[in-house]
Amino acid sequence: MTIHDVFDGARYLTQTINTLTSHQLDLSVGDDFEDYARIVEKHRGEQPLGPPFDPVKTFLPKSRGIWVVGRNAKGTVVHTQAMRLLDLCDQTLARYLSARFAEFPPGGMEVDLAGSWFRPGPGAAQISGRAVYHGEMWLADDSAYRGRGLIDVLARFAFLTAMLHWQPDHVFGFILRPVARRGLAEREGYMHTDPYCLSWKVAGRNQPLDCNMVWMALNDLRHVMHVPLDERVTA
């Protein structure tokens, strides 16, 4: 990462924080996932903590994880997201997830691993080195936040934080296909998609939870941070 990346990243990170503050959304960050688990349990009952960020199920040293929590003017938690650094070295993400996709299931669901699968797309075969897994994205069902373009800003905050803190080679995540079709990946800023690469068979559901993998390389992150934000946010 160049000095220009650091300078531009710091400047744009400050802009995103100021934009969110103008919408009465105050962010806090941390690396202690026991603290994060308590926050989620208390304030995000409709979306249980995902196993990739659950300190009971996953070893997450402080140098390898970051959580983000947003509160409104009353101090109520209205937003979460989290990131986790994977050092793949020379191994591709395709190989890593083919062996270990079961470590990334949806939270609060009984998953039948025998009926679930990961089939790597071309993007996963290109990803190696330092890869950041981005998940836990949640925004309260409140008209003050939903439909106002804030997801764009919140995702950008995460990307810029990851870029400045870890200098990753890639960032990736999973999005349910019905949600992806409504444009969430584009709103978050992801530039690449491997469609239909992950499927979870969940107890009590007739249909599986099918997912797309979304991802970006460092050059994509450099590009995205210069893309103008949604006019609804900056107006």
Q: How many domains does the chain have?
A: 1
In contact, 49 and 107? CB cutoff 8 Å: yes
Rounded Cα distance between 181 and 54, Å, is 28
CATH at 48: 3.40.630.30
Tell me the whole-structure pTM to 2 decimals: 0.94
* The pLDDT value given to residue 130: 97
Contacts of 126 (CB under 8 A, 6+ apart): 92, 217
Rounded Cα distance between 40 and 48, Å, is 7
In contact, 214 and 144? CB cutoff 8 Å: no
Tokens 């995460």 belong to residue = 158
Neighbours of 118 (CB within 10 A): 22
Domain that holds residue 114: 3-234
pLDDT tens, position by position, for the chain (235 residues)? Answer: 788 888 889 999 999 999 999 999 999 999 999 999 999 999 999 999 999 999 999 999 999 999 999 999 999 999 999 999 999 999 999 999 999 999 999 999 999 999 999 999 999 999 999 999 999 999 998 887 888 889 999 999 999 999 999 999 999 999 999 999 888 888 899 999 999 999 999 998 999 999 999 999 999 999 988 888 765 464 3
Phi/psi class of residue 176: alpha, beta or left (left: φ > 0; alpha: ψ in -120 to 50)?
beta
